[in-house]
Amino acid sequence: MSQVLLAGPLGEVTKSVLSEAAFLFCDELSEGAAPLEARLVEATITFEGATPGRITLRLPWHVACEAAANLLGAEPGDDDVEANAHAAVGELLNMISGSALERWFGSGSQWSLGLPSVSEREGRLPSSAPRGELVALAIDDARIELEASLGSVT
């Protein structure tokens, strides 16, 4: 698998999973879109297979809360929403990763996913020093980013 093959399927799978599972609809990021400085939620998952690697999802806090509300069938201001935002982002990354791996390696290949690791921080999108192939999308006017890296995950 070449680096060029990573972005297309990852973007397609992300759009599909976010719209079907969390009712979050992604658009292509417009050229010249302004960087985003915000409270971010970042989830990373590793995978092992013919080629090991990792996939990271970064999105603004308010999008993580919207995803949690939609997954829970709750209103954005409900008490459970913020408490479940990290879990929601981790679960969405898990779904995205499984579908992307099947697209990259084929349905007959063997691979395994680790558990998502989720954290929160103040940060900037686009990432200033990506280590892999980046996919940038927009949900409403909010920038989100996925990064796929191949190779050792140490």
CA-based nearest residue to 117, from 49, 66, 48, 44 = 44
- Domain spanning 3-150: CATH superfamily: CheC-like (3.40.1550.10)
User: What are the backbone dihedrals phi and psi of residue 127, each rounded to the nearest 5 degrees, phi first?
Assistant: -60, 140
- DSSP strand pairing (36-48 vs 142-150): unpaired
Note the pLDDT tens digit of each residue in 33-83.
888 999 999 999 999 988 889 999 999 999 999 999 999 999 988 889 999
Three-state DSSP at 136 gives: strand
Which amino acid would we find at residue 10? L
User: What are the backbone dihedrals phi and psi of residue 117, each rounded to the nearest 5 degrees, phi first?
Assistant: -110, 125
Note the pLDDT tens digit of each residue in 83-117.
999 999 999 999 999 999 988 888 888 889 999 99
Task: Tell me the CA distances in angstroms from 126 to 23, 39, 144, one per residue in order.
Answer: 23, 13, 8
Q: What is the pTM of this model?
A: 0.91
| Domain boundaries, given as residue ranges, for the chain | 3-150
- At 5, the pLDDT band (50, 70, 90 cuts) reads very low
